[in-house]
Amino acid sequence: MAGRTEVATLAAGCFWGIESAFGKVEGVVETTVGYTGGSVADPSYDQVCSGRTGHAEAVMLKFDPSRVTYEQLLELFWSIHDPTTLNRQGPDVGSQYRSAIFVHDDAQRAAAESSKQSQDGSGRFARPIVTEIVDAGPFYPAEDYHQKYHEKRGGLRFRF
């Protein structure tokens, strides 16, 4: 019997890779890639890639907190991208590839801020963390061909 689920929304560069990583976590029951944090309703991939809508490529996770905690998801988030680069992850450049945690309630905000402060003070990163922590707003699922992209095409593989 499935437990109750909660939602987390995270942006860490191209959404294909982060969906692949989080989709392998025990307790994550659903992943959806999409667009959030922008000013245009129901944007297309081409619109978001233009950099003019303000959206970030993100993944929305539904997770069972009795099997994986929000804090554990944040630990993975910090480990799979460089949170010190502004509007860039690897070869992907633009505000749509920014590092951001979109919080759904006060508890998530407190956990995200604590986690960011801990990571920033850990000495793990050579530069300060630039990850935004902002209120979650509308989330628009990306086009079907983006969903489970690496699973469908045999791309990037994460092991945790």
In 3-state terms, what secondary structure has residue 18? helix
Please give the pLDDT value at position 125. Answer: 94
Q: What is the CA radius of gyration of the chain?
A: 15
d(CA 43, CA 116): 29
For 93, the enclosing helix (H) or strand (E) is strand 92-93
d(CA 117, CA 108): 14
> Tokens standing for 156?
């990037």
Q: By the 8 A CB rule, do 148 and 116 touch?
A: no
Residues in the chain, how many?
A: 160
Please give the pLDDT value at position 150. Answer: 59
Please give the pLDDT value at position 160. Answer: 33
Q: Which of 11, 14, 21, 56 is catalytic?
A: 14
Residue appearing with tokens 């990037």:
156
Measured from the Cβ of residue 52, the count of other Cβ atoms closer than 10 Å reads 15
Q: Thinking of the domain 6-153, which architecture would CATH place it in?
A: 2-Layer Sandwich (3.30)
Measured from the Cβ of residue 128, the count of other Cβ atoms closer than 10 Å reads 9
Alpha helices in 6-148 (DSSP H): 15-23, 45-49, 70-79, 106-120
The domain spans of the chain are 6-153
Please give the model's pTM, rounded to 2 decimal places: 0.90
Please give the pLDDT value at position 90. Answer: 86
> Tokens standing for 47?
């619109």
Residue 49 annotated to the active site: no
Please give the pLDDT value at position 146. Answer: 57
Please give the pLDDT value at position 3. Answer: 73
d(CA 8, CA 12): 13
Q: Over its length of 160 residues, how does the chain's per-residue pLDDT go in tens digits?
A: 457 999 999 999 988 889 989 999 999 999 999 999 999 999 999 999 999 999 999 999 999 999 999 999 999 999 999 999 999 998 889 999 999 999 999 999 999 999 999 999 999 999 999 999 999 999 999 865 556 655 656 654 443 3
Q: By the 8 A CB rule, do 60 and 31 touch?
A: yes
